[in-house]
Structure 1
Amino acid sequence: MNAAVIYADATELAALIRTRQISPVEVMKAHLDRIEAVDPKVNAIVTLAGGAMEAAAKAEAAVLAGEPLGPLHGVPFTAKDSIDTAGVATQRGSPIFKGRMPGTDATSVARLKGAGAILLAKTNLPEFSYWIESDNLLSGRTNNPWNLERTPGGSSGGESAAIAAGMSPLGLGTDLAISLRGPAAQTGITSLKAKHGRVPMTGIWPRAPRRFWHVGPMARSVRDLALAYSILAGPDGMDAFATSTVLYDAGVGPSLDRPLRVGWLVEPGFGPIDPKVAAIVQAAAEALMSAGCAVEPVRIPALEQDLALDVFNRLHVMEMQPAFAEATAGRRDDELYMMAKTMLALPDTSMKDYVDAEQAAERLRDGFADYFQRYDALLTPVQPIPAQKHGVSAFVIHGQTVDATYLQGSTVPLNVTGLPGLTIRFGTSGDGMPIGVQLVSSWQAESTLLHLASLLEAASPVRDLHPNL
């Protein structure tokens, strides 16, 4: 195993390629060899992209010829299998879409390719991208590379597992309620869910409910998130939520003439949190304070008045079910897995409950707007527990029994409100599983998240950076 290559981040690989210290062919072969060696245990890879080695050879020729190079020239990347890739199967975790071959790339894929990156593979997900575990009838279950008996999360669990295991340096995932941030925390990598609409969702399914879906980068370093975000963000003329022609960012960074103001919150507002996870959040808060930030514990009354997970459930089911019904029409029962059956069987939300939930969502947005008048960022847990065992449907956390959907309690408020959020590892459980924290900024301030994450990255107490596979 060439650890220096497979665990280098995308930024380093791009620099090494640009300066001819390593060739794109060597980089691609190292990752393909890693996939062959460890993916039979992890099952993160659904489809290898044909022509990856040929593309790497062309990238190498461009370097040797002195041609202009993009910021990710010759660097492999992977994409969740709900994201369209031209000429490479995109099967959405379901036998219904087996062999489906898109004719065009999703905007996010096209933008990474335009920056010189090379598609390496597609990664596993739950059926239709709808669950907190990455398991389906078509490509099976993905395992967490830190402990194969644990889940890497969902719905971007295949992507997070591939990056954590050294099979990919950079990837694309999607997020409806937890799906970029939860898997990143469970596997010890980092991810960014930018403000809703920053990165177009064109070429990604499902889109319903469109106002909650996001697409974003997953990586092993904060600088990779920043680089990928700079490439991915901006309107494409097709996604009406991505309309800003100027990437306005009112974030604040190291040049600010006052300390960054950061509140940290564990309980209340998200419900019970495992004491070890709570301790990691407090440790991250103390690290930010040591780095010069003004940090204090906070409460956000809006989160206590309206449980964001309940608001989300009342809103998204009514909007999601028609898309699921259309996709599954006329299909045999044995072609549908757990989540499609569950979602289609859920009762309709009454119009009164739907309107009440809409008003609750507005209260949550107002509550966060009020909070960000006084603070630059918020620090929270990502999940209430570290990565759980496969198939567990209920948990006892801090003496309270909750069902599995509750794992989204700290992340779903950002989907309901459209706020940006970043996940970064900052600790380890007693049994060796990664624990991450979530940074949240106001709607126009992704640079604040990236700056604070870089401070945590520099101060991280984590020493076991890579799983032993």
Structure 2
Amino acid sequence: MTNLTRYDATQLAEMIRNRDVSPVEVVQAHLDRIADVDPKINAIVTIADQALADAKRAEAAVLRGDVLGPLHGVPFTAKDSIDTAGVLTQRGSPIFKGRNPDTDATSVARLKQAGGILLAKTNLPEFSYWIESDNLLSGRTNNPWNLARTPGGSSGGESAAIAAGMSPLGLGTDLAISVRGPAAQTGITSLKATHGRVPMTGIWPRAPRRFWHIGPMARSVRDIALAYSLLAGPDGHDAFSSSIGAAQPASGALKGGLDTSPLRVGWLVEPGFGPIDPEVAATVKAAAEAMRQAGHHVEAVRIPALELDFALDVFNRLHVMEMKPAFRAATAGRRDDEIYMMARTMLATPDTSMADFIDAEQAAERLRDGFADYFSRYDLLITPVQPIPAQPHGTTEFRINGQTVDATYLQGSTVPLNLTGLPGMSMRFGTSHDGMPIGIQLVGAWQAEPTLLHAAAILEAVSPVRNQHPLI
């Protein structure tokens, strides 16, 4: 088998169960792929030393005829902010260089319990805090579609590894954009589930967690559905984690576990998210038209709450006050040359006044109410993931559709879902004039992940860019 690194996790698991290929062959193929392409991309920061030994044990289980988990023998990767027992988790910072956790994060443990094999850890910005994956410890990650472009942040190492065939499945975290933006920038698929659906146990910072999410990243919708069904549910440690609306198995989410009546679909580009590039806007409209042609009720919409309160501004006023204590604790007593630029920027940002903080809290509630009103009338919302395709490294200012904005505006259409906790899925549906992937964001009501997966499967089947991969 010469193409094992281009099969998705679901197909690899089936091939392993059928004894068409061994877990050792699969893991070795991905290790070889890492050795071949990662020197150009720099997505991998640590190889799990036990990966091949775990693969041999998985192979023996197949040969014995043991009952096999749904990911038996399939390698996966995890962002380097997610704890992995016995494998370095350094959070992209010299401050945590050499840190070796004793226990797995809940998400890692659940993929292992399903038979998955931890292959490697992937790059990120320091403390998972920026839209580009660069840091003082492991350097900058490049986009496999164009090495001069970023794969995004903060889960950019994960997205680049999956897009380049170094991993079929991975775990990222998301504070404002960080699994959805990198997925869009590298042409893969990701899910930020409803807040609390996947426990954050074993991920820094422990507090605050109210805007943080962890989510699966992959190259197919069915892999996202499978991973979500394994990851969701309370763990008895993360108080936000919820069992309401228990996760459906992938087969239920994609193959008839839903009401099959037409979905009520709205699509929105502007206003409310800041300026959007015309190519991105056209991709969103094309996805909406594809849903219409599939027999669903589709119309352009506006959400007044997004126009009344700009979600990015609301988020900035809230999270600066919440994140600063964690950053101060981590960097206490450290020299500036040990701390990357975004942590220094955060620490230097003036505190939000109490009046502004309370006003922002009220604005966040208005946004939640606005989305609740929208989802009383619609089942799905299609939006941009970010306003432009992947940008050149180090870009801090953009001219988008006639407006000049700073780099934080890349989060304009993703951060509303962190403020409200709503689920969002990122998937590719277009290509820019210079060959870069363009993604769309599917947004659902609270706990409506099955609807997102259903809609994503419909769009994946008709996508004009299905099965396209970078040539690296």
TM-score bracket for the superposition, by shorter chain length: over 0.9
How far apart are residue 464 of structure 1 and its match? 6.4
1:43 paired residue number: 42
Q: CA deviation at 1:244?
A: 2.5
- Is the contact between residue 284 and residue 456 of structure 1 (CA under 8 Å) also seen in structure 2? yes
Residue in structure 2 matched with residue 228 of structure 1 by the alignment: 227
The aligned runs of 1:266-281 (5 Å cut-off) are 266-281=269-284
TM-score of the superposition, structure 1-length normalised? 0.98
Output aligned runs, 1:290-301, within 5 Å. Answer: 290-301=293-304
Equivalent residue for 1:91?
A: 90
For structure 1, which runs of at least 5 residues remain unmatched after alignment? Answer: none
Counterparts of 1:375 and 1:251 in 2: how far apart (Å)? Answer: 19
User: Partner of 1:155: helix, strand, or coil?
Assistant: coil
* Contact 2:41 2:147 (C-alpha < 8 Å) held by counterparts: yes
> What is the SS of the residue equivalent to 2:360?
helix
> How far apart, CA to CA, are the structure 2 residues paired with 1:207 and 1:160?
24
In structure 1, how many angstroms separate the alpha carbons of the residues matched to 2:382 and 2:156?
23
Letter in 2 for 1:278: A
Q: Does 1:305 align with 2:308?
A: yes
Q: CA–CA distance in 1 between the matches of 2:245 and 2:374?
A: 25
Query: Structure 1 residue 12: deviation in Å?
Result: 0.1
**1:398 alignment counterpart:** 401
Letter matched to residue 162 of structure 1: A
Q: Any conservation in 1 of the 2:71–2:116 contact (CA below 8 Å)?
A: yes
Matched with 2:167 is 168
Query: Quick check: 1:263 aligned with 2:262?
Result: no
d(CA) in 1 for partners of 2:358, 2:113 = 43
Q: Which residue of 1 aligns with 2:70?
A: 71
Q: Which residue of 2 aligns with 1:135?
A: 134
- Secondary structure at 1:313 match in 2: helix
Distance of 2:219 and 2:206 partners within structure 1 = 27
What residue number does 1:437 align with?
440
Q: Which residue does the alignment assign to 2:147? A: 148
The alpha carbon displacement at 1:444 in A equals 1.7
Unaligned runs of 5+ in 2: none
| 1:347-396 C-alpha deviation (Å, 9 max, x unpaired) | 00000000000000000000000000000010000010000000000000
Equivalent residue of 2:3, what SS?
A: helix
* Larger displacement relative to structure 2 (251-260 or 87-96): 251-260
The structural deviation recorded for 1:4 is 2.3
Residue pair 1:252, 1:445 contacting (<8 A) in 2 also = no
How many residue pairs end up in the alignment? 468
* 2:328 corresponding residue in structure 1: 325
Superposition pairs for residues 24-423 of structure 1, below 5 Å?
24-244=23-243, 247=246, 256=259, 258-423=261-426
Q: Deviations over 1:302-333 (max 9, x none)?
A: 00000000000000000100100000001111
Equivalents in 2 of 1:395, 1:3: separation in Å?
A: 41
Task: Give the structure 2 partner of residue 427 of structure 1.
Answer: 430
CA distance in 2, matches of 1:385, 1:444: 29
What is the distance in 2 between the residues matched to 1:439 and 1:52? 34
1:230-282 per-residue CA deviation (whole Å, 9 max, x = no partner) reads 00000000000003265178999865363100000000011210000000000
- 1:13/1:253 Cα in 2 relative to 1: closer, same or farther (>3 Å)? closer
SS at match of 1:296: strand
Q: TM-score, normalised by structure 2?
A: 0.97
Write out aligned runs for 1:446-461 (5 A): 446-461=449-464
Q: Is the 8 A contact 2:254 2:457 kept in 1?
A: no
In angstroms, what is the RMSD of aligned CA positions?
Answer: 1.4
Cα distance in structure 2, aligned partners of 1:267 and 1:383: 12
CA contact (8 A) 1:94 1:137 kept: yes
Contact 1:188 1:434 (C-alpha < 8 Å) held by counterparts: yes
